[in-house]
Structure formats: C-alpha cells, structure tokens
C-alpha cells in the first residue's frame, strides 16, 4: 500500500470492519447541536469520542463542561524533541430537515454504492474519527507515536463554536502546538489530493421586521397598514442585484483579490460548469458576479444569503392577514481582508436606511468570524502535501474553501499556528443537506493519509 | 324600547341570558374550516346551528353534505304575498394562531369590559346567531313571521366558500328570494347605524419558488447558486413601491373611481387618522397610495398583500443553507370594475417576467371573487336603513367595506338579488386576529334591529 509500512498496512486491513462499526455507532447518535431536545445525544456523542481516544492510547482524556456542549481534550506527549500536532474535529451535526427528502433515515447509517449515508458522515464525524483511528494504528503498530499529539474536539461547530473559541483564547499553554490538523474540508475531486489554504469567514444574523401591533384583517386594513412580511421581503430583495452582486454599500471595500498564481491554478482545475450546475446545484442556471469564474465566486468573493424566512400564515389553506411580524436568518461569507465588524456596521446602516416606511427592523448578530489563509511554504503544510501526494500517487492541489471553519481563525489568532486543512470529503457529499454521504474508501484513505503525514512530520 | 312592540321587547329581555348562553355554546366549538384536524368540530357547529333553526320554528331544516363542510338550509314560508328574505351567515372561523397573544383562550368565551371575547364572536357566529334569535323572537311573540324567511348558512366562508358557491349556482329555485340579509360587516363606529353597499373582491394565490434541487451548503455554493428564499423575496418586493402603490402592470386598468357623492359622504365621516393609526393599526405610520384618503385606500382601491412566507431554516439557532424552495401566500383585493381573470393573468405574466435568474416560480390560484355594489334605492336597502335608524335613533350611514363576502357576489350573479349588508361588529373587533371580540350590547341590538327590519319589510 502506498505511503506506509507493511505492518501498518496489515493492521489497517485487519481492522477495517471494526473501524467502520465504530464510526457507524457514532453516526447513530443524533448529536444535533442547535436543537435543545438533543442535548442528551450531544453528551452521548462526546462520551463516545472520549472513550475512543482512550482506546487509541491517549495518556490524558478530558471531557470539559462548557456553557453549552462539552469539549474533549486529549494528549499523548511521549516524543520529546518532536513537533506537536493539534488535531481538531467536531462531533456535532446539522439538523437533518427536511426529513422527507432522505432516502434512508439520517441517523441509521448504511452503505450504498460505496458511500456511507448519514447526517455527519462527512461533516465531520467520519473525518474526525479517521484522525483517532490513524493515531490508534500508529501506536498499536509501533508502540509509540512519531510525534506529540493533542486532540481538541468540539460539539458546537454547527452553532458557532462559542465554547471552543473561549477555550482556545484562554488555554494557550495547554494547547501549544506547532500546527493544527483540521479535516473539515473536501477533496477537490475524487482521487485528487487536496490541501485547503484559505477559508471564508462568516457573519450570521437575524433580521426581525415589525409592522402593525397585531395581525390585521387584510380586507379591512389592506391599502393603509404596513405589512411586516412584505416589508422584510422588500428590504432583503434590495440586498443584491438580479445576478447576485451585493448592493449594500461598503461590503466590497476591503476585499483582497487572489494572487495571480492562485487564480491561474484555479483556472487549471478546469471546473466543468455544466456538470457543476447539473449535478451539484441542480437549478436552471448559476447566478453570481458576472465576469468572475465560479471558483472565484465561491472561494474569494463575499456573499449575502437568506437562509430562512418566516412570518404570517404558512399553514394549509388560506388566511387573509396582514402579518405583524417576520424574521429572516441571513449571513455574509467573508474573504481576506474583510473585517467582520465593518461589514456588520455596513449592514446595520443599510437596514436602517432601506427599511420601508411603517416597518421597524432589528438586527441580531448570532456569530462572526473573519476569513483565514495559511502559507503553503510552512513546513507542516509542505509535509502534508507530500504525504497526501504519496498516498494518492499524484500531485497535491492547493485550493480554498468557501465554507467557514471558525476554529482555524481562532488557532491562528491565539496559538499563532497554521492549520493543515486536509479534507477527505467530496463536493457532492451533501453537507447540511438531505442524504449526506462520505465515500467509504475515503474513510480508509483518510486514516492512511493522516497516519503517513504524522509519520513524515515526526521525521 | 325603540323600534319594537312592548311584547317583543319584553320577550327579548326575558330571554337575554338564554340567548347569550346559546351563543357561548356555539363559540366553544373550534369550527376552524381550514384545519383538517377540526373537521369534526365543524360538523358539531353545523348540527348546533341546525338545532337552533328548528327551535326558532323553521318548518324545514336541512344539513346538506358537500365536498368539504356542511351547508345548512332552512325555511319558513307561511306569509303568502309577502316578500322573502334569505338570511346568510357562516359558522366557521379563522385559525386562532398566534395563540400566545390571546388574553383568554379563543374557544372559551368570556365577557370582559362589556365585550364577548372569542374566535368567531363577531366573525361571524355572533351576528349569524342574532338572525336566528330575531326570527325565534318574532315567531314566539306573534305566532307567525311577518314575511317569508329562508336561511343559508355555510361552514367554508374562511376558506373560500366553494360549496355554497356551487349550491347557489345550482339551486336558484329553492333559494328564490327578494333580498338577502348578510351580517358579516361592521358598524362604522359604535352607535352609528351602518349599511354597507360595496365590498372588495379577493384573489388568493400561492407563489412557490424553486432554486437548487436540494438545500445547499451556503459556504460551498454561496456566490454561484440561486437561493429560492432570496429569489422569492426579491420578486415579491418588486410588487409595490415603498408607499404601497402596486407596480404590477395592468392591475389598475379597470379600477372605477367612487361617485363624487360617495366620496363626499366618506369625507364627512371624518376618520381620525391619528386614532386609526394608534388604536387600530399600531404601526409607526400608515402606508398606501399617497394623495388618497384612508377610506379610499381600504374601500375603493385594489391591494396586493403577502399573508405569509416560509422557506429554508426558521428553527431555533442557525443553519447555513441555500434553500431549494420557498412559498408565499398572497392576495389581491379587487374593486369595481376589476375582472379577477384579468388581474390573475396580469400577475402571472409579471411573475414570469420578474422571476430572478436561476429561480423557477409557480403560481396557484386558490380562489377568486369580484367586488360587488348594491343600490341604496332598492326598497329592501331603504327599509333596512329606516329600521336601523329607528332602533339606533340616528341616521343610517352608507359605507363600503374593504373586506370580501364572496356570497354577496354569488347571490347577485345567480339569484339576481341584492344583499342588505347590515353588520353589528366594530372596526376594532380584531377579526382574524388574537382577542377577537363582539360587543355584548351589539349582540342584543342586532337581534332587535333584524327583528325590526323583518317587521317593517313585511309591511
């Protein structure tokens, strides 16, 4: 097997089924961090992960209570003089709704066409668990680890990660490391070893609109009374032009363009836009800033999205009300060098100015994190690229992700370390959507690749 | 007591408590016609009303099964040579949501500050039941009715009234009458006898927007994928300008202006806009077509309203999806001489043209009825105005209503009869809203006024 010793390869082969059974057991736990009714499940998932870390040979394993969901810290520091790698992952998942679109239940993992189908299979249980299994294998085979390992695993990634942010900000000594290993991104395509060197940031907000003091009869008051749902729709509709360019003044002010070399490498990936539209997006056409290629739009350009809107009567049948209230959940994705605070200020100013007459609006900031970039010249990044290339037998490509992994920013800010973003998911894994999947083969390859990286980096 | 014989007055006084107890029993039945789970309650309400009609002395009482909720027909035709009055009402009610805003439960009627608080108290159980009690009283006191009476009472008024529309269209002979009596409108103000001679029509529609084939991760696809919720908000937001003037071409084409005399009489009502804004609407300011007084905006101008919108993630917490679907419930209020079909066609054409790139939209028509006017010179209308004036001791005012009573249009179209729209509610009765009420005194006055009208009209 490429990129590993015979002994490691045979251990991994011998333990394939157990490694899969253990992952399935974790996937069966509906650890939906945003849903209060699933708090007990979140705690069960935390306990499961902690037990796995003990079995992997970590000398310290702490389940740390927080204001919301537990953090798990583990370490094995038995390689004096060797570098220290901090492995990050999260055991919480997104809500599975809309449930009726799942072919099989989200928390009953199954193998279909070589894929593991389950909520959290790729984001992030499958990838996080691969780290643990790689460490377990190295220790089982060699009796020791090639370097020092720390794990920090959270249960709030899908709800903003407030607890881990606080922990990282206040435990710099305990978490000290040379580099972080984060597997929460994707391969550019099947079989293409991919390191992510840039992430977009995220500002998540709620906008609430209020019109009349109560729902009104639209016959008796229609024509004279303001409508909260219409007012909110009219406001939000003005945020972008028909193509998708943001019209909120100031949002593009600090946007840094990617380096020409980076742009060139993105072009060389030859994204098949027809396939992307048909197989990934599935709409009648793409939108976005005209004159910029798709990879620019999703990797190096800011966005404004409405994630949900609710107000008035949405039940079965008809109800003729002028709604008093409406709420929308919206976000901005941020790129270098946007400052979240400046964008929030620009949005609040725009909302205040553009809110229609008779409507009151309130903006609530739920969380905010800036974009981050790491240098491909850092030894750990270069070593990760080499390990990846050796396991896959082809050149590692360097990309960005349009998604946000707030922890990467926190680690850079507080621990002053870069993150190796070594992901094993695929673009069509349906993260946050019905029928989320993780390719079975990629689960095993992830274990091999992480083990090989740790071995090479340990020298 | 004004406008009635001693004997009738004393009967009504002697039976006040019973008349109230019976109404409360009807109000306790949650006959929400739009909610499938309340079908049994709707049937219970129908049986209750039928029983009351028998007790009032109707010689025929039929509960007529329909495709949805039962119709009730009753008659007492024992006054040869006298005119026939067809009394219309509905026993179904709007949903009570949002429930948390009710001071007392919607289906547990109570008297507070001289008002009956309950869903349906004014719209329309209280007013419909007053007809029955008036007829009961006349028959009990005089042993016979002064004219011929028919009742047609439906259980689908709040969901479009499809069944009664079909019934009226196909039972002209059975329903033949000189005039209809409809108590589903309001007094212009407390103590002001009010006849409504015009109603706006209603077109109720659903607009569904589709973007991607599934909910997408807004980080991975944000910037290139169309967003169904944003697309729908952007589309609907273009339907009106900031003040509320409809921007959909063609909608104003056939709008007839009210006669100068009618406009003068509306001016003479001296609507207190400050009070209307503060006590009825409760928003920071009114909206609507500038340069037209409020009564014009709500009585003689068409409207476009969004009653509810839903799509994407609206639960607790945050979810970063680009929603695949969004649905809005919208309506037009119509005035003379707008043709519903022409307005629907104009809307569909506008939606098709204005739908943003990458979004598919579908428009579903749920129901449509034109505006109606009746002539104040018709003998029944004139007699009703006289009866109203005598009971209240002041001149009856002629107004319009911005609401829709589709049956009035159906009766005009198929039976060729006008409707006496003699309502006893008040503008702040909170129809379709939390804490709907009906003034206790107006319930009793309604019984007296209807009895007096029937007596005068019977000669």
- Segment 234-263 of chain A within 8 Å of chain B by CB: 234-240, 242-244
Is residue A353 in some structural domain? Answer: yes
Please give the DSSP secondary-structure letter assigned to residue A255: P
Contacts of B431 in chain A (CB under 8 A): 217, 220
- pLDDT at position B237 is 97
Q: Based on the domain organization, do A188 and A205 belong to the same domain?
A: no
Q: Do A159 and B403 touch (CB under 8 A)?
A: no
Min distance A190 CA to chain B CA atoms (Å): 17
Is residue A390 in some structural domain? Answer: yes
CA distance B63 to B71: 6
- pLDDT at position A1 is 56
Closest residue of chain B to A298, computed from CA coordinates: B223
Is residue B260 in some structural domain? Answer: no
A351: CATH: 3.30.70.360
Min distance B311 CA to chain A CA atoms (Å): 5
Min distance B53 CA to chain A CA atoms (Å): 29
Q: Based on the domain organization, do B383 and B249 belong to the same domain?
A: no
**Number of domains chain B contains:** 2
* Helix A16-27, helix A39-55: angle, nearest 10: 160
Min distance B44 CA to chain A CA atoms (Å): 21
Is residue B1 in some structural domain? Answer: no
Residue ranges of E strands in A101-193: 110-112, 115-117, 148-154, 179-182
B322 touches chain A (CB under 8 A): yes
Is residue B163 in some structural domain? Answer: yes
Please give the DSSP secondary-structure letter assigned to residue B306: E
B207 touches chain A (CB under 8 A): no
Q: Based on the domain organization, do A375 and A360 belong to the same domain?
A: no
Q: Based on the domain organization, do B350 and B450 belong to the same domain?
A: no
A293 touches chain B (CB under 8 A): no
Best probe of the B interface among A189, A211, A310, A318, by most B CBs < 10 A, is A318
Q: Do B236 and A232 touch (CB under 8 A)?
A: no
Best probe of the B interface among A230, A291, A322, by most B CBs < 10 A, is A230
CA distance B260 to A133: 85
Contacts of A96 in chain B (CB under 8 A): none
Q: Based on the domain organization, do B415 and B329 belong to the same domain?
A: no
Range of the domain at A115: 6-199+371-458
- pLDDT at position A318 is 85
Residue B337, preceding peptide bond in cis (omega within 30° of 0): yes
Q: Based on the domain organization, do B393 and B356 belong to the same domain?
A: no
Q: Which residues does residue A71 pair with via DSSP β-bridges, in sequence order?
A: A64
Is residue A91 in some structural domain? Answer: yes
Q: Taken in order B375, B380, B384, B390, is the CA torsion positive or negative?
A: positive
- pLDDT at position A428 is 84
Contacts of B303 in chain A (CB under 8 A): 218, 222-223
C-beta separation of A389 from A3 below 8 A: no
Q: Do B281 and A212 touch (CB under 8 A)?
A: yes
Closest residue of chain A to B237, computed from CA coordinates: A234
Q: Based on the domain organization, do A234 and A157 belong to the same domain?
A: no
A435: CATH: 3.40.630.10
CA distances for A241 relative to A245, A288, A302, B211, B362, angstroms: 5, 9, 14, 16, 22
Min distance A401 CA to chain B CA atoms (Å): 7
Q: What is the pLDDT along chain A (459 residues), one digit of tens a residue?
A: 566 788 999 999 999 999 999 999 999 999 999 999 999 999 999 999 999 999 999 999 999 999 999 999 999 999 999 999 999 999 999 999 989 999 999 999 999 999 999 999 999 999 999 999 999 999 999 999 999 999 999 999 998 889 999 999 999 999 999 999 998 888 999 999 999 999 999 999 999 999 999 999 999 899 999 999 999 999 999 999 989 999 999 999 999 999 888 898 899 899 999 999 999 899 999 999 989 999 999 999 999 999 999 999 988 888 899 999 999 999 999 999 999 999 999 999 999 999 999 999 999 999 898 999 998 889 999 999 999 999 999 989 989 999 888 789 899 989 999 999 999 999 889 888 899 999 999 999 999 999 999 999 998
Is residue A292 in some structural domain? Answer: no
Among A342, A369, A396, the domain boundary falls at A369
Among A369, A394, A414, the domain boundary falls at A369
B209 touches chain A (CB under 8 A): no
Residue A98, preceding peptide bond in cis (omega within 30° of 0): yes
A318 touches chain B (CB under 8 A): yes
Q: Based on the domain organization, do A85 and A215 belong to the same domain?
A: no
Is residue A395 in some structural domain? Answer: yes
Q: Based on the domain organization, do A38 and A101 belong to the same domain?
A: yes
Min distance A124 CA to chain B CA atoms (Å): 14
Q: Do A286 and B35 touch (CB under 8 A)?
A: no
Cβ neighbors of B299 (< 8 A, separation 6 or more) are: B198, B200, B258, B266, B335, B399, B400, B401, B402
Cβ neighbors of B339 (< 8 A, separation 6 or more) are: B254, B370
Q: Based on the domain organization, do B144 and B24 belong to the same domain?
A: yes
- pLDDT at position A259 is 85
Among A369, A392, A418, the domain boundary falls at A369
- pLDDT at position B184 is 84
Q: Based on the domain organization, do B186 and B318 belong to the same domain?
A: no
CA distance B340 to B348: 12
- Segment 147-186 of chain A within 8 Å of chain B by CB: 158-160, 186
Q: Do B306 and A327 touch (CB under 8 A)?
A: no
Reported pTM:
0.79
Ranges of chain B whose pLDDT falls below 70: 1-3
- Segment 181-200 of chain A within 8 Å of chain B by CB: 186, 200
- pLDDT at position B43 is 98
Min distance A353 CA to chain B CA atoms (Å): 12
Q: Based on the domain organization, do A106 and A234 belong to the same domain?
A: no
Closest residue of chain B to A320, computed from CA coordinates: B307
């Amino acid at each position: 097997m490429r990129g590993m010793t015979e002994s490691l390869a045979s251990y991994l082969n011998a333990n394939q089924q157990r490694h899969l059974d253990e992952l399935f057991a974790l996937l069966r736990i509906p650890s939906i961090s945003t849903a209060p009714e699933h708090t007990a499940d979140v705690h069960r998932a935390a306990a499961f992960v902690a037990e796995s870390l003990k079995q992997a040979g970590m000398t310290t394993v702490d389940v740390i209570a927080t204001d919301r969901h537990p953090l798990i810290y583990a370490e094995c520091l038995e390689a004096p003089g060797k570098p220290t790698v901090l492995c990050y992952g999260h055991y919480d998942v997104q809500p599975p709704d809309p449930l009726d679109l799942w072919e099989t239940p989200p928390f009953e993992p199954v193998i279909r066409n070589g894929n593991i189908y389950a909520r959290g299979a790729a984001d992030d249980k499958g990838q996080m668990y691969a780290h643990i299994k790689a460490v377990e294998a190295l220790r089982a085979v060699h009796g020791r680890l090639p370097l020092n390992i720390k794990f920090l695993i959270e249960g709030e990634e899908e709800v903003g990660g407030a607890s881990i942010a606080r922990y990282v900000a206040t435990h710099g000594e305990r978490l000290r490391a040379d580099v972080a290993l984060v597997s929460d991104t994707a391969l550019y395509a099947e079989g293409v070893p991919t390191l992510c060197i840039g992430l977009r940031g995220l500002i998540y907000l709620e906008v609430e609109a209020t019109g009349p003091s109560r729902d009104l009869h639209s016959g008796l008051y229609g024509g004279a009374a303001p409508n909260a749902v219409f007012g909110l729709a009219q406001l939000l509709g003005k945020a972008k032009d028909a193509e998708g360019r943001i019209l909120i003044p100031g949002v593009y002010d600090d946007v840094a363009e990617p380096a020409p070399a980076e742009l060139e490498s993105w072009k060389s990936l030859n994204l098949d836009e027809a396939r992307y539209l048909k197989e990934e997006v599935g709409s009648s056409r793409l939108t976005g800033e005209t004159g910029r290629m798709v990879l620019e739009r999703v990797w190096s350009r800011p966005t404004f999205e409405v994630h949900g809107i609710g107000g008035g009567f949405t039940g079965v049948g008809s109800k003729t009300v002028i709604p008093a209230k409406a709420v929308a959940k919206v976000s901005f994705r941020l790129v270098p060098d946007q400052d979240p605070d400046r964008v929030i200020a620009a949005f609040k100013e725009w909302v205040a100015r553009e809110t229609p007459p008779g409507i009151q609006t309130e903006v609530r900031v739920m969380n905010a994190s800036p974009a981050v970039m790491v240098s491909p010249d850092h030894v750990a990044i270069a070593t990760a690229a080499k390990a990846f290339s050796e396991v896959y037998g082809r050149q590692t490509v360097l990309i960005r992700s349009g998604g946000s992994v707030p922890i990467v920013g926190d680690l850079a800010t507080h621990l002053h370390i870069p993150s190796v973003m070594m992901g094993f998911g695929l673009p069509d894994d349906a993260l946050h959507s019905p029928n989320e999947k993780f390719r079975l083969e990629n689960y095993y390859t992830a274990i091999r690749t992480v083990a090989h990286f740790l071995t090479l980096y340990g020298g």
